[in-house]
Amino acid sequence: MAYASGHCSVLIPHPDSAAEGTTIAVEARLTAPGILVCDYALHADMRRVRLPDSHGGERSDDLWRHTCFEAFVTAAHLVGYYEFNFSPARDWAAYCFEDYRHGMTPAMLVAAPGLHVHAGPARLELSATLDLAGLADLTAAARLRVALAAVIEADTGELSYWSLQHAPGKPDFHHPDGFTLELSPP
């Protein structure tokens, strides 16, 4: 695990995912106590990437069915974790899980994530700023454990799955093996 106030890396495609000509750079950092910033930079021929339609920049379910960037966050003392989804259409989702893929409920955030998106012909950048203040079990933690991931939808409708580290078997961003990054408050 990497211990840092911020961490830059590259997501790797799942072995079953087509990834030719595509890379995804990521960075996660705590910029202040309880403020998590996740930056994603998708480098690809954007004519070959299908971007989702917007629901108005609101909370929305099933974002992972299309191009979407994700962060999974927990603390060392927690069994459960949080899932955050960020759409390039500026829609978002936040869930709390009691345990691995069990007990999912909407996470109550004090504010919607701040999403900033910039798209060009060969690059899509998304920056998400999360205020974790309403999630006391995370804000009280000395270190956060994070898994960063992405789902990319090709123009053909095929999905590819990207993560810092993939667990064995089918794509599974919830798996504990994916929480490879540890962040400490500044």
Token look-up 């093996």 returns 177
What pairing do the DSSP bridges indicate for beta strands 181-183 and 2-4? Answer: parallel
Q: Is pLDDT of 1 > 60?
A: no
Q: What percentage of the chain reaches a pLDDT higher than 70?
A: 96
For 44-96, write each residue's pLDDT tens digit: 999 999 999 877 889 999 999 999 999 999 998 889 999 999 999 999 999 99
Structural tokens at position 98 = 């009691």
Query: Would the pLDDT of 5 be above 90?
Result: no
Q: What is the tens place of the pLDDT at every residue in 119-157?
A: 999 999 999 999 999 999 998 898 999 999 999 999 999
Average pLDDT score over the chain: 93
Q: 151-184: per-residue pLDDT in tens?
A: 999 999 999 999 999 999 999 999 999 999 999 8
Q: What integer pLDDT is reported at residue 2 of this predicted model?
A: 37
Beta bridge pairs of residue 115: 128
Whether residue 10 has pLDDT greater than 60: yes
CATH topology of domain 2-167+178-183: Immunoglobulin-like (2.60.40)
Give the other-Cβ count within 10 Å of 63's Cβ: 22
